[in-house]
Amino acid sequence: MIKLADISHDDFFLLPSGAKVADVLEDILDHHTQYIIRCSEKEVGAVYRTSVLLREALKNGSGSLGENILVSERFAVIQEGDSLLDLLALEDHPDLIVLVNEGTVPVGMIDGLEAIRKLLHDFYGMIPGTKLSLPEYRDIVEQLEEEIFVTDGAGFILYLNPEGEKVCGVKLEEVIGKHVSDLEKAKIFTSSTTVEVLKTKKKANLLQKLKSGKTVLATGRPIFDQKGRLVRVLSTTKDVREINHLMEQIEQKNKEIKHKNQELTLLRESIFAQDNFVCKSPKMTGIKDTIIKIAPTDITVLIQGESGVGKEVVTKLIHNLGLRNRYPLIKINCGLIPENLLESELFGYEGGAFTGANKHGKLGKIELANQGTLFLDEIGEMPLSLQVKLLEFLQDREFTRVGGTQKIKIDTRVILATNRDLQTMVNQGRFRRDLFYRLNVLPINIPPLRERVEDIPVLAEYFLDQFNNKYQMNKKLAPDVIEAFYEYDWPGNVRELVHFIERIMVISDADFITRDMLPEVFGGNPSPRQTIICTDLIPLKKAKNELEAQLIKRAYEIYKSTYKVGKVLEIDQSTVVKLLKKYR
Ligand SMILES: Nc1ncnc2c1ncn2[C@@H]1O[C@H](COP(=O)(O)OP(=O)(O)OP(=O)(O)O)[C@@H](O)[C@H]1O
């Protein structure tokens, strides 16, 4: 902490109290000082500006310079060992501060404004501008809505700002000079931070209970002099109610956010339901999470999977959950449109572009998808000749109509789907490598239904409900029907399951559909899945182990019961347990 002596100057001339100014005028002129201090051995009487004194001498002659005609500057007297903080205890806002030694002899002077600037800088981290006057600085400190409580290094109270007076319910003059423990004894507050700081010489935070019943959060800070001695303790407090109020506000905001998130989840779920998307398996719930994340972006998505796995359902979800859902989702199936028509279907054409063309021209699907989403289904079927034009469009979102020369810019999101293995097609030279890399920004691979059997019961129940509603029925599936579904291979995936459920519901007379009502493929005769085909030659022992591992794992995935697995694989339950241990 800076001492006042450190920032003082000695630009003054001492004028003993009895001496006449006229008698020492020459001395004053010789010394070239800015101020003249009149003082006795007991006190500092007045401080004059030399310039004022000289002006008076010029005007009236030096003989007329009595003590009375000189107006003293506003000043305060402070001991040279005091620190900046002692300024806070001053009643008035002096323009000048006279530092005196242990007697009363002036040893230095400080500009009041300069001192307050330093004080603000040191204590409050403020770098004051040059425009404020000393009283203004004092007002700032006094108007802080924070309690300021200052003691010396032994705990004797030096200063309490008006907010502190309010908070503690005492006046500065009642407590100044008292020890902080006296205030504790008088129950003005409990557990003083000052006492804590005096003990630990470290910053302390405490909850203080005040006489008024209020609880405040007090922070005490030690202030050391250059020699590392504790010279002051500065404490500030904050009303806990205010903090509690803020905490309540934060909690309220958090609740609102949580509520909004819940609403958003419900909204998303309703979109998933509207778009008829059902899933339970970890693989598909992972895909659902990806959809939620990428839907609001414009990232190009490539959806791969066997026919009927739900590629179009996922496309609709991405569009409907995205920011373009007020604009259309335009689909074009590249596999269904003859090669020679695909270009004009996709990019449109100018009037008279080719024989038989509309003379006014026609908008292509890309233009129709402006602002919305373009869904290119069966992208693996796109002829190589068109792939370059598509690549150019994907890169710049610009294209020309067939028969046109003008570039057209379109703002659309692109989603592509295929049931072909594009990587293999690239290797075989049937799909452009550069286009593949451009498309493969975010691949979503939807697994076939047989690889996510957990979805089978939820999908089956879902379709059952749909067709019960559609046909005004009340049919149910027996648990062994679902078991039979687990065992089937579903080469047509979810599409096959939908159609199968509709068919069985319509053709069966009973309300309760049981396994024996299902076609052969679900039971008696071996299904194609039960045929094991060897495509390669491997050692018999390895092959046996591999088959055993696959069978046991697959069966357990489906039945989640060692008893059932034993029954299906026609082995003891204890063998199932042993094998599961071996292959896990
Ligand atoms: N997760 C799912 N929840 C509910 N229904 C689904 C789900 N996945 C697919 N379906 C239904 O299965 C049928 C086939 O789905 P979709 O047309 O999306 O498959 P696809 O992979 O695009 O097929 P293709 O490759 O033959 O075009 C549709 O009737 C669809 O509603």
Residue 505: pLDDT band by 50, 70, 90 thresholds? very high
> 205 in a domain, yes or no?
yes
543 pLDDT more than 80: yes
Residues 412 and 283 in one domain: yes
**Residue 9 above 50 pLDDT?**
yes
Task: Decide if pLDDT at 60 tops 60.
Answer: yes
Pocket of ligand 1 from Cβ distances under 6 Å? 276-279, 305, 307-313, 419, 459, 494-495, 498
- Residue 215: pLDDT band by 50, 70, 90 thresholds? confident
Domain annotation covers residue 336: yes
With respect to residue 420, please indicate whether it lies within any of the assigned structural domains.
yes
Residue 262 in any domain: the answer is no
- pLDDT tens-digit readout, 175-208: 888 888 888 888 887 778 898 999 999 998 888 7
Q: Which residues of 414-445 are buried (b: 16+ CB within 10 A; e: fewer)?
A: bbbbbbeebeebbeeeebbeebbebbeeeebe
Number of domains observed in the structure of the chain: 5
Helix/strand/coil percent split, the chain, to 5: 45, 20, 35
State how far the alpha carbon of 564 is from the alpha carbons of 281, 443, 529, 551, 572, in Å: 21, 37, 19, 13, 10
Give me the CATH number covering residue 111: 3.10.580.10
Q: Indicate whether 430 and 568 sit together in one domain.
A: no
Average pLDDT of span 376-403? 93
Mean residue pLDDT of the chain comes to 85
Q: Which atom belonging to ligand 1 lies closest to the Cα atom of 279?
A: 1
Within this chain, do residues 51 and 30 fall inside the same structural domain, yes or no? yes
Cα separation, 497 vs 351, whole angstroms = 46
**Percent above pLDDT 70 for the chain:** 90
Ligand 1 atom 29: residue of nearest CA: 495
Which residue among 272, 274, 285, 309 has the greatest number of ligand 1 atoms within 8 angstroms of its CB, and so is best to mutate? 309
Instruction: Judge if 49 and 123 occupy the same domain.
Output: yes
Pocket probe for ligand 1: among 269, 277, 312, the residue whose CB has the most ligand atoms within 8 Å is 312
Are 363 and 305 in the same domain? yes
Establish if 249 belongs to a structural domain: no
Q: Are residues 515 and 466 in the same domain?
A: yes
Q: What is the span of the domain harbouring residue 223?
A: 145-244
**Is the pLDDT reported for residue 299 higher than 60?**
yes
The domain boundary, picked from 509, 530, 551, lies at 530
* Closest atom of ligand 1 relative to the 315 alpha carbon: 18
How many residues does this entry show for the chain?
584
pLDDT at 281: 93
Instruction: Establish if 366 belongs to a structural domain.
Output: yes
Q: Looking at the predicted structure, is the pLDDT value of residue 129 above 60?
A: no
Phi, psi (deg, nearest 5) at residue 178: -80, 160
301 lies in the same domain as 421: yes
- Look at residues 195, 142, 135, 130 and name the one whose alpha carbon lies nearest to residue 172: 142
CATH number at residue 468: 1.10.8.60
Three-state DSSP class for 166? helix
pTM: 0.54
- CATH code for the domain of 366: 3.40.50.300
pLDDT at 526: 38
CB-count exposure of residue 469 (10 Å: 0-12, 13-18, 19+):
exposed
Q: Are residues 297 and 220 in the same domain?
A: no
- The residue out of 530, 548, 571 marking a domain boundary is 530
Query: In this structure, is residue 475 part of a structural domain?
Result: yes
Cα(427) to ligand 1 centroid in Å equals 28
* Domain match, 521 and 544 both: no
The answer to the question of residue 125 being in a domain is yes
Domain boundary among 118, 136, 154: 136
Question: Which of 271, 276, 313 has the most ligand 1 atoms within 8 A of CB, as the residue to mutate?
Answer: 313
Residues 6+ apart with CB under 8 A from 62: 21, 22, 25
Q: Determine how β-strand 408-409 pairs with β-strand 12-16.
A: unpaired
Q: Could you tell me if 283 and 372 lie in one domain?
A: yes
Q: Are residues 383 and 464 in the same domain?
A: no
Residues 123, 50 share a domain: yes
Indicate if ipTM > 0.90. Answer: yes
| CATH number, residue 185 | 3.30.450.20
* Residue 236 clears pLDDT 50, i.e. is over it: yes
Distance CA 571, CA 474 (A): 38
Distance (angstroms) between ligand 1 centre and the Cα of 311 equals 6
Residue 374 in tokens: 């373009």
Site of tokens 């949580």: 258
107 sits in which H/E element = strand 106-111
